[in-house]
Amino acid sequence: MEIFLIRLLQFMLAIGLLVLLHEGGHFFFAKLFGVRVDKFYLFFDPSIWKWDGSLFKFRPKGSDTQYGVGWLPLGGYCKIAGMIDESFDTEQMKQPEQPWEFRAKPAWQRLLIMIGGVLVNFLLALFIYSMILFHWGDTYIPVKNMTLGMKFNTEAKALGFEDGDILIGTDKGEFKDFSADLYRDLSEAYSVNLIRDGKKMSLKLPGNLNLLGMLKAEPSFVRPLIPAEVDSVMADSPAASIGLQKGDKIVAINDKAIDSYNEFTDQLGILEDMMTAAKTKTDSLKVRTATIVVSRNEEGGTKNENTSAAEKKDTFSVVLTPELKLGFYVKSLAGLYEPYTHEYSFFESIPAGIKYGWNVLAGYVGDMKYVFTADGAKSLGGFGAIGSLFPPMWDWYLFWKMTAFLSIILAFMNILPIPALDGGHVLFLVYEMITRRKPSETFMIRAEYVGFGILILLMVVANLNDILRWLGYM
């Protein structure tokens, strides 16, 4: 429950900040061009019975704008006078046009008002990325320094990869760290450079691998090889009950030899599938009862450059937890390899942050093509999926990095040419500027209803996917 509340608080803080600044972008340009703003709200305020839906509201003396907070945390809005928007205020549009209304202003001013929110979100993301680099620097483990190499699935091995290969880069450039960018480069590359058994070599790639399929595959297309060596043991765990200790190596589970922690977790995944099929407690207990083979140094044995300690293998029968955990930890990547930190001065951080943010946007836009596939639709996530991206403990570095990413997503999604979004209004304004003709108010109202319907449908699908994942159906 504590983890849920921490993630919820981070999510609400990030979304509240981004929505407030997004609407502030519209507000700024509206005021700049003398357009009246009737309402400026964080969250929506649909009325319920005799309640107007406002948790808090006030109107400064002499101001035309009512500021407030609504009860429905699905965004926010800046109600601009003389504009057809999600408020569907058609009564105002029936009145004679006033000079302080949106519709009375030149098209170029209306265009700036509409892109104001997107512009603020995009600039905010670049600013946050720049300040992250200035304050924390860029810390990562270079892929080429992962000397234990990688583990690959069967699809990757069919292309010529072998377990233990040390990845260097592709024809698109050298790999930086192990992230989605590495997958993206592999999916688009025609060749990959690597080190195998101490020798440099290249493999040919098709250049059109399915990125979504690579990311969703179980086991993953590629992942860093992590030894199945115990680093610590959880108290009162199955691992503790069989005397597992630091330095022990898991070499087999259920008569299946393993060479890494990656393969150990793969075998636990097979047990999870078997557990799903179990119908009785007896069947479940049978699945949970595993045979573990452990390799350890003989007591008193040591290893150095000249000798290797004698090793012995012990076999244990152990009942895993209901979650199919043995109860031990291995070293993380940061424990296996020395992280590298690139520090930036204030003036160096600005162009670096801009470049970083632009790469994030380019990657996100490039991945949008997968949304229109069956697997892509299933990958859509709602509030639950977004909230789960925040860390389970409060970490300002991760919070700001996630906030910047959401700011870029918000900017891009809002500029899509869908009626009811900023991009829809921009599309109609560009049409007006080219043809010198305004779309009729009837058309704009109908388009707003269509766009609003599309948004509701997408929201329902995304949040339904979250529910299905939570229930274990996806």
pLDDT digits 0-9 by tens, 94-131: 778 889 999 899 999 999 999 999 999 999 999 999 99
The answer to whether the CB of 404 falls within 8 A of the CB of 16 is: no
Neighbouring residues of 388: CB distance < 8 A, sequence distance ≥ 6 = 7
> Can you point out the beta strands (E) in 270-382?
289-297, 311-319, 328-329, 340-342
pTM, to two decimals: 0.82
Smallest Cα–Cα separation from 426: which of 113, 123, 120, 119? 113
Task: Tell me the pairing of strands 166-170 and 191-196.
Answer: antiparallel
pLDDT computed for residue 379 by the predictor: 67
pLDDT computed for residue 87 by the predictor: 60
Taking residue 359's Cβ as centre, other Cβ atoms within 10 Å add up to 12
As given in the structure block, the two tokens for residue 46 are 């649909």
> Can you point out the beta strands (E) in 114-231?
138-140, 150-152, 166-170, 173-174, 191-196, 199-204, 222-224
- Counting as low any pLDDT under 50, the low residues of the chain are 300-307
As given in the structure block, the two tokens for residue 182 are 């590495």
Q: How far apart are CA 340 and CA 354, in angstroms?
A: 21
pLDDT computed for residue 301 by the predictor: 40
> Can you point out the beta strands (E) in 125-224?
138-140, 150-152, 166-170, 173-174, 191-196, 199-204, 222-224
Query: Which letter does DSSP use for residue 179 in this model?
Result: S
Neighbouring residues of 190: CB distance < 8 A, sequence distance ≥ 6 = 170, 171, 204, 205, 206, 207
Cα of 288 vs its chain's centroid, Å: 33
Cα of 153 vs its chain's centroid, Å: 23
- Max Cα–Cα distance, the chain, nearest Å: 94
- How far CA 408 is from CA of 14, 121, 290, 350, 399, in Å, comes to 12, 6, 46, 17, 14
pLDDT computed for residue 131 by the predictor: 97
pLDDT computed for residue 451 by the predictor: 82
Question: Residue 219, preceding bond cis, omega within 30 degrees?
Answer: yes
Q: How far apart are CA 449 and CA 401, in angstroms?
A: 35
Task: Tell me the pairing of strands 138-140 and 173-174.
Answer: unpaired
Smallest Cα–Cα separation from 421: which of 383, 459, 387, 389? 459
pLDDT computed for residue 374 by the predictor: 65
pLDDT tens-digit readout, 60-93: 988 889 999 998 887 888 999 988 776 656 666 6
Q: How far apart are CA 331 and CA 286, in angstroms?
A: 30
pLDDT computed for residue 390 by the predictor: 85
